[in-house]
Chains A and B, each alone.
Chain A
Amino acid sequence: MAKQSILVVEDEKMLRKLLEYRLGKHYEVETAANGEEALDRMEAYTPDLIISDIMMPKMDGFALQSALQSDKNKRVIPFIFLTARSDEPTRKEGARTGVDDFITKPFDIDQLLSRIDRLLERTKVFQKNLDAEIGEDFSRRLMPKQMPSVPGYRIRFYNQAHDQGGGDLFDWTRTDDGNYFITVGDVMGKGVRAKFYAFSFLSYVRGTLHAMLRESDSPAELLRRVNQMLIEDEVMEETFASLLLINWNPDEHTITYANAGHCRPVLALPNGAEIVAHSDLILGLESGTQFTDTTFDLPPDSALVLYTDGLMEQRLPSGETLGEDGVIEIAAAALDDNEPVRSMLEAALTRSEANEFEDDILAFWLQREA
C-alpha cells in the first residue's frame, strides 16, 4: 500500500522543517507556510491528514479550517491543530468547526505521531470496510441469480468471491431460437478495481452479444468485436481479459465455442476426461487478433466443465499448483456424483490440504443425462 500523505501547515520555518523531517520517515509529507498556500496545494492533491498551526500570516488556521468545511470532500480529512493557545475558548472554537485533535506547543513528537496514527487508522478501517462492501456488491452483480433449467440436462454452478480475489465473471442468456450463450471470463487485476472493470466489461459483452445475435451467433465473432473495443476504447485501455464463450444447442446436443486465453474447459466422459483444447490469444493485447469457432457433440452422460484460474492455481503441499491435469482428474471423478461441483471442489481442497481456497472460485457443470 502506498504511504499515506500529510499536509503540514506552519509559518515557522524551523518547526515546518522539523515536522517534515520527522513525519517524513513514516508518511509522504507536503508543506505550506499558511492557509492560502495550503488551499493551493490541495487544488492538486488530497492529503490523508492535515496538521495546521493556528496563528499564521495571510490566512490563519481557523480560516483554513472553515474554508475546508465548505467542500464536502475536504471537510472529511482528519485535521489536527498545533496551538500555543491551549485555553478553553480556542478549544471551543475548534470543536465548533470540526477539528479532530489539538496538540499544544511545545509538543512531544511521539505523542503527535501516536495521535496521527490513531486518526489515520480510523480512515483506513473505514476505507477497508467500504471496499469490502463495494467488492461484495460487484461480485454479486458479476454472477447470475439463477441457472437455466433444461430437461435432460443437469446444471450446477458455484462461485465464491475471495478478499484477495479479482474480476471473475459469469453470465448466460437464452437466444430466440432456444440456444444458450454462456460467458465465463476473468478480468486481470485484483480487488475492487478489477471487479469494477469486470462489471463494465460484462455490460459491454452483454450489449455486444444482443446487438450481434441479429446477424450472427458465432462466439468467435463476438470475441473479435470485444477485443477491438478493448484496443480502441480509451476507457478500457488498461483492461485485459480472458473470455470463453459457449453457444450451446440443447436440442442437437452440440457446443460451439471460442476461447480467448481462458482456462480451457474439461469434457468429462464415462471413460475419462479430456481437455477442450483450442484457444486463442487473451483479449485486449493485440489489434486484429483472429478467433476460431470449434463445434463438438455432447454425448449422453458427458459433462462440460467451465472454471476460472482460482481452481487451477490452488496450491498443493508440493508447492505445485493443481493445474489443468488436476482439474481433469477431479472432473472425471465427479461425473457419477449427484453434486458434481461440490465433489470437485472438495477433492481440490483435499488435494491441497487446505480448508479454503486462496482466490475467487468459480465452477460451472453442464451434464447431458444418460
Chain B
Amino acid sequence: MSFDVDTHTDTTVVVDIGEALDFRNADDFKSTFQSHVDNGVRNFILDFSDTGILDSTGLGSIFSLYRQISPEDGQVVFADVSRPVQVVVQLTRTYKVFRQFPSVDAARKALS
C-alpha cells in the first residue's frame, strides 16, 4: 500500500499518513518519501488527521526523512495531529523538531 501525496509546490508536498504508520508499512512510507526527496522535494507536510497508530518503527521512518532533508534546510511538519500521535510526539520530545499546525491548510500557508 502506498501513501497519497499531494504536490503543493515544487519543493513541498503533503503526505496523507492514513490510519497507521507502523512496522507494517514503514518501508512503504520510506520509498514514498525517497522518490520525492530524489526529485528535489525538501518540505514534507504530514497529515495525521486519521492516524490512530504511530509506533516506534513508523516514527523512526519519519526520523530517517528528517535526517536526509534537514542538512539541506528542509522541514518535516505535522498537521492536524490526532491524539494517539500527540502522545508519541510528547513522549519522544520530538515536538522540538517537528513544527505542528492545526490543519493542512495552515501548514500549506506557512510553507508557501
- Please state if A189 and B57 are interface contacts (CB–CB under 8 Å): yes
Report the minimum CB–CB distance from B73 to chain A (whole Å).
Answer: 14
Complex Cα spacing A188 to B60, Å = 6
Q: Which residues B38-67 have CB closer than 8 A to chain A?
A: 52, 55-57, 59-60, 63-64, 66-67
- Please state if B87 and A281 are interface contacts (CB–CB under 8 Å): no
Residue A271 at the B interface, CB < 8 A? Answer: no
Q: Which residues of B contact A263 (CB under 8 A)?
A: 91
Given the known A-B contacts A166-B57, A309-B56, are A281 and B97 also in contact in the complex, defined by CB atoms under 8 Å?
A: yes
Residue B96 at the A interface, CB < 8 A? Answer: yes
Report the minimum CB–CB distance from A284 to chain B (whole Å).
Answer: 7
How many B residues are at the interface, by size bracket?
20 to 34
> Chain A: how many interface residues by the 8 Å CB criterion?
28
* B57, B59, B93: most-surrounded residue (chain A CB, <10 A): B93
- Please state if A237 and B94 are interface contacts (CB–CB under 8 Å): no
Q: Which residues of B contact A285 (CB under 8 A)?
A: 63, 66-67, 94, 97
Q: Which residues B56-112 have CB closer than 8 A to chain A?
A: 56-57, 59-60, 63-64, 66-67, 70, 84, 87, 91-94, 96-97
Q: Which residues of A contact B23 (CB under 8 A)?
A: 164, 166, 189-191
> Of the candidates B52, B67, B87, B93, which one forms a contact with A280 in the assembled complex, judged by CB atoms under 8 Å apart?
B93
Residue A321 at the B interface, CB < 8 A? Answer: yes
Complex Cα spacing A282 to B59, Å = 11
Q: 1/0 per residue A63-89: CB within 8 Å of B?
A: 000000000000000000000000000
Complex Cα spacing A237 to B64, Å = 9
Report the minimum CB–CB distance from A277 to chain B (whole Å).
Answer: 11
Complex Cα spacing A164 to B97, Å = 29
- Please state if A190 and B57 are interface contacts (CB–CB under 8 Å): yes
Q: Which residues of B contact A (CB under 8 A)?
A: 23, 52, 55-57, 59-60, 63-64, 66-67, 70, 84, 87, 91-94, 96-97
28 contacts across the A-B interface (CB closer than 8 A)? A186-B56, A189-B56, A190-B57, A237-B67, A238-B60, A238-B64, A240-B59, A240-B63, A242-B56, A261-B91, A261-B93, A261-B94, A263-B91, A279-B93, A280-B93, A281-B92, A281-B96, A282-B92, A282-B93, A282-B94, A284-B63, A285-B94, A285-B97, A286-B70, A309-B56, A309-B91, A321-B87, A323-B87
